[in-house]
Structure 1
Amino acid sequence: MAPAFMVSAPGKVIVFGEHAVVYGKPAMAATISLRSYLHVTTLSKSHRTVSLRFPDIDLDHTWDIETLPWDVFSAPSKKKYYYDRVTSLDQELVDAIKPHLSVVSPNASPDARKVHHASAFAFLYLYLSLGSPKSSACIYTLRSTLPVGAGLGSSASICVCLSTALLLQIRTLAGPHADQPSDESEVQLERINRWAFVGEMCIHGNPSGVDNTVSAGGKAVVYKREVSGRPPTVTPLRAFPELPLLLVNSRHPRSTGTQVAKVGALKEAHPTVTNQLLDAIHEVTDSAYKLLTSPDYNKDDPASLQYLGELIQINHGLLTSLGVSHPRLERIRELVDYAGIGWTKLTGAGGGGCAITILKPEADVEKVKGLMDQLDAEGFERFETTLGGDGVGVLWPAVLQNGTDEEGGEEIDQEKFLNAPDTAAIEDLVGVGVQEKRDGWKFWRPT
């Protein structure tokens, strides 16, 4: 049997360019160190089942491998290969999966069942596309430190994990390893990203592709929608610095569609002013891009960080002028500004959701503690994380040097992984985000 292994991929935030991106202007997205983790356990040959376990959303289902619709997926006109680019879902394949989704979580509430079916749909579509009837029996166990539905790319992170694990199992990925050439890393990440996008189509229907792209490749990207149905332009930003980040969830529900429609209505009522605001957001994104791609850019230069921080504040002010902020988001900004410890903006669609703060390196420790206490007291959810870190990573086999006395390291088995009670325990057990990079995890790192 193959050893148990793990895959991990990060979430993301929009750093610059929200809403302007809807109108063909660029946006910049970067990874955060909150991540999804996938543990893969291969069962003995006597088993012929595949299981998907996602305890964070109470999903646990097992399928009989032999009864899955392999005949439809392997038909000559339907069969896809690991190197193919899939840009739309095949309705015949979707229909073949539906009976195997209908048996998932039959007694769950309608809202929970919807989430379970979306996760199972993405998994089965990828599993059937990349696997075969001879695939080994396995248990795929997912855990995440990312809040779901907060605009942080949790579904894309999961799809990147699934895509990577399945491609590893059919032995179509090289690496990752420390001496891997950059162009080879690029090829592997593109392969992972193509199939992660297929998973995102299963969940969202018509995703932009930016979330899975930044989650797979890491660091940051500049994303621009093209006209006339052409694919979007995605430019990696390998020079994006790793920065300490305070991420605060307002806990106010948000609707991307509602906020996009609000800006659309404003643009119709006040076209000149609104277009100038959108153009100004474009200039902010472009200014950040020029700084980060300048040959003179130095990530350790305090002046560069100050410049990025000021752009963060300007971007937030422009988004507020578009009417997409919220009193809870403004309260977060107000508290951070009063403490004087960083630069804050809303991230994503607005109207609720999250705010990000790039922390000043010289921030007073007592003021930071006071801010954290105040955010807790006012019912905000906060995460001390890192901006601009690694993308998808692999731990093969699932063994870590976790400061234990266990010979050869600590084996992360399925039971230990499942029993981690919360996100902090997951980080303590296998985390590759906030903590120092642990011996064992490896990443594709193109330069």
Structure 2
Amino acid sequence: MKMMNGVELHEVRVSAPGKVILHGEHSVVYGKTAIAVSLGLRTSIVIKEIHSDTHIVNVDLPAVDLQETIELQPITDKLFDPPFLPGTTEFPWMEPGNLDHEKHFGAVEKFLHETRPDFDSLQSNRQNSLRCFLYAFSGIFGSTKLPVCSMEISMESELTVGAGTGSSASFAVCLTAALIQLVKLKSGVDQEEFSMEDKKIISSWAFNCERITHGSPSGIDNSTCTFGSLISFRKGAGPRVLDLELRLRVLLVDTRVSRETKALAAKVAAFREWNTAAVDSVMDACDHVTHTATEILENLSKTKNITDIQLQYQRLEELWDMNHCLLGALGVSHAALERVRAAARARGLACKLTGAGGGGYAIVLIPPYSDEANITSLKQELEAAGFRATDTRLGGAGVALRS
């Protein structure tokens, strides 16, 4: 542990997974249930307090090509002591529900435009990264009386930004978790892992960051990246953590076709206006698939019998095929996704789009009894076609401290 002017200098390392939607894409917007699962690909952050003659924060985010050096004094002068909601008497960092989100975000936005004249010219993902950092940093530290040292914040991610694997939520969870751990260390509290209560607080902070990035998020992304495993969500009910022992193996295939979630959601909404009864029937069918798949996954997490495992995987494969076709009927598939699916089906493997569709990612289910030569052949074919294929697992740990 290093010291500076009698103050301990701390270092924090945290990682959080990405996520994929297994079932319920688009239908979740219309009150149906969706399930998401944590992804084996993770985002990692290191916050290191440093000795510096100037009071600064160095931020390095290679995933969005952002490197910034920000003076600390203007942040503490203008953004610390965050506003709390009417009816509350204080705002401690462990009660993010007391924070007046709109006022605090407004102050962050004003600060960025005053201190960064070229802010509006930055790419949107860089803008949102800066917004979320200042929002969380000043919100969490600004509600304490702890000394703030110069620090370096560096983050790396195995996730592709903007492809539907929860990159922004994983970033937000990592950032808020690391800041909370730093506050705890500076308060004399050391721990080897986050408690369930810690995770609830982290998820709430990350949700507010997701509001900055996406406007009206469902909460499923930040919940999945925080708690890991499987998350069930229905609009108006809030996320429900299904703590299952799942390590589903998949081939995560990046089609490298960019897509915009809002535009695809608007396309489905417009399609529904002209074909309301038919589209609603598709949404109902998607909901049935989601609930059936959840039951199968719950059974799969408990059974050890090989015959039963094979049967459960066969049922999952049928549901993946069905779900993809239902989404295709809504017009959100893409030629690249269909090419991936055809290559998988030629080898007897189930494949579906995940997320908004229109490009982005496809996921290929790999049962435990699969022929490895078959998987290798599929991966080679997909990569030769210009796709990126990653062999990974679903259902692993959520946010975690790293040594």
* Paired residue secondary structure (1:266): helix
Residue in 1 that maps onto 2:224: 214
How many residues align? The count is 383
Residue ranges of structure 2 left out of the alignment (5+ in a row): 3-8
Residue in 1 that maps onto 2:233: 223
Q: CA-to-partner distance for each residue in 1:299-348, whole Å, 9 max, x for gaps?
A: 662222222222111111111122211111011000001022x3110001
Contact 1:104 1:116 in 2 (8 A): no
Contact 1:80 1:130 in 2 (8 A): no
Contact 1:80 1:129 in 2 (8 A): no
- Note if 1:59 corresponds to 2:70: no
- Note if 1:27 corresponds to 2:34: yes
- Note if 1:80 corresponds to 2:91: yes
Q: CA-to-partner distance for each residue in 1:249-286, whole Å, 9 max, x for gaps?
A: 11222122222222223322222222211111100111
Residue in 1 that maps onto 2:127: 117
Q: CA-to-partner distance for each residue in 1:348-389, whole Å, 9 max, x for gaps?
A: 111111101111223222222221121111111221111111
Residue in 1 that maps onto 2:215: 205
Equivalent-residue separation in structure 1 for 2:233 and 2:82 (angstroms): 36
Residue 368 of structure 2 aligns with an amino acid whose one-letter code is: P
- Note if 1:268 corresponds to 2:276: no
Residue 118 of structure 1 aligns with an amino acid whose one-letter code is: N
Contact 2:255 2:359 in 1 (8 A): yes
Contact 1:30 1:387 in 2 (8 A): yes
- Note if 1:322 corresponds to 2:330: yes
Percent of residue pairs identical: 33
Range 303-312 or range 204-213, more displaced: 303-312
* Paired residue secondary structure (2:209): helix
- Note if 1:242 corresponds to 2:247: yes
Residue in 2 that maps onto 1:278: 283
Distance 1:277 1:96, change over 3 A: closer
* Paired residue secondary structure (2:314): helix
Equivalent-residue separation in structure 1 for 2:109 and 2:329 (angstroms): 45
* Paired residue secondary structure (1:233): coil
TM-score when normalising by structure 1: 0.79
160, 169, 179: which one aligns with 2:173: 160
Distance 1:364 1:269, change over 3 A: same
* Paired residue secondary structure (2:205): helix
Equivalent-residue separation in structure 2 for 1:87 and 1:292 (angstroms): 37
Written as runs of structure 1 = structure 2, the 5 A alignment for 1:367-406 is 367-396=374-403
Residue 151 of structure 1 aligns with an amino acid whose one-letter code is: G
Contact 1:87 1:198 in 2 (8 A): no
Equivalent-residue separation in structure 1 for 2:245 and 2:59 (angstroms): 35
Distance 1:96 1:343, change over 3 A: same
- As a proportion of its length, which structure holds more helix? 2
Distance 1:291 1:371, change over 3 A: closer
TM-score when normalising by structure 2: 0.87
Range 207-216 or range 100-109, more displaced: 100-109
Residue in 2 that maps onto 1:191: 201
Contact 2:320 2:350 in 1 (8 A): yes
Residue 123 of structure 2 aligns with an amino acid whose one-letter code is: R
Residue in 1 that maps onto 2:341: 333
Equivalent-residue separation in structure 2 for 1:109 and 1:98 (angstroms): 11
Residue 31 of structure 1 aligns with an amino acid whose one-letter code is: S
* Paired residue secondary structure (2:266): helix
Distance 1:216 1:241, change over 3 A: same
Residue 326 of structure 2 aligns with an amino acid whose one-letter code is: L
Range 166-175 or range 146-155, more displaced: 166-175
Distance 1:371 1:103, change over 3 A: farther
Residue in 2 that maps onto 1:345: 352
Equivalent-residue separation in structure 1 for 2:124 and 2:265 (angstroms): 24
